[in-house]
Amino acid sequence: MSAPQLKRFKIATAFLLLAALAQAAPPLTQIQDVLYKADGSPFSGSATISWRSFVAADSSNIPTNTISVNVVGGLLRVRLVPTTNASGGAYYIVRFNADGRTQFTELWAVPPSVLPVVVKDIRIPSPPGSNVVPPPSVVQMADVTGLVESLADRPTKSIGVAPNRAAFIDATGEIAAVSGAASDCVKVDGTSGPCGASGAAFGFVDMETPGGAVNGSNTVFTLGQAPAPAASLHFFRNGILQKPAVDYLLSGNTVTFLSVATPQTGDLLLASYRTGGQ
């Protein structure tokens, strides 16, 4: 065989081999569609298409794998092996990604077709042969805008947390329990101590009858405790509220009426006040 004949033989053999390989490739269906967001703007991103091993209608073996297709200006175009006539209930899992996150996931059952098909004609609610809708794909914390930052801003429990205790935010920003006796009062800085001034118990006295003769000449009356604060004293004469420095003067637990306001025989005197507070 001459050199030119040998060259022609090699070319013919290559063509035959390519033709055989083309014939051996499984048939494909073209999926072509334009995708939009709900606001009418084109979807841009990518579609990650994955599948489990199956045997195509022409007995081609399609092993488990994944491909990624870019979606530009909403245009999706991809050629896939049909699954509706394949073995083992084959289907495709398609995850649409944008802005570095998986936006949504859907399932495809691709039929054999010589014409392009659109997504709505191949989308299925559940795997073939199953009546159960698959659970949604796992959403990562980073997929939710602002979630990681919001969780980082929340105070966390410290080792100082205890049940049945008032809680406060400590210097490290963690939640801790206030220490102290059950009868203590809690301050805004999370410290605690006896309630009221100098450890005196905080309380209220309502409608106390002061000690002292109500005879038209006595002006000095005694309360059971010293009002604290002094301004908390409400002194009533026959139901009328008396004014400090106008009707009376207070010193400790002693009320001294001015002469022009001296209680008269038969007057009813009552006092209400706070104790142990400032």
Per-residue pLDDT at 139: 66
Residue with tokens 């060259």: 7
Fold of 23-141: Immunoglobulin-like (2.60.40)
Nearest to 116 by CA among 80, 147, 141, 85: 80
Q: How many residues comprise the chain?
A: 278
Residue with tokens 């949504």: 104
Q: Name the band, by pLDDT with cuts 50, 70 and 90, for residue 150.
A: confident
Phi/psi class of residue 152: alpha, beta or left (left: φ > 0; alpha: ψ in -120 to 50)?
A: alpha
What span, in angstroms and rounded, lies between the C-alpha atoms of 95 and 157? Answer: 37
What span, in angstroms and rounded, lies between the C-alpha atoms of 82 and 108? Answer: 10
Q: What average pLDDT does range 215-235 have in this prediction?
A: 93
Listed by start position, the domains of the chain span 23-141, 203-275
67: number of Cβ within 10 Å: 12
pLDDT digit string, tens, across residues 102-143: 888 999 999 999 999 999 999 998 888 765 455 555 566 766
Question: Where do the DSSP E strands lie in the chain?
Answer: 29-34, 45-51, 54-55, 61-62, 65-71, 75-80, 92-98, 101-108, 123-124, 167-169, 175-177, 185-186, 192-193, 203-208, 220-222, 234-237, 240-241, 248-251, 254-257, 269-275
Most confident of 95-104, 120-129, 228-237: 228-237
Q: Between residues 45 and 155, which one has the greater pLDDT?
A: 45
Give yes or no for residue 155 having a pLDDT over 70: yes
Q: Is 272 helix (H, G, I), strand (E, B) or coil?
A: strand
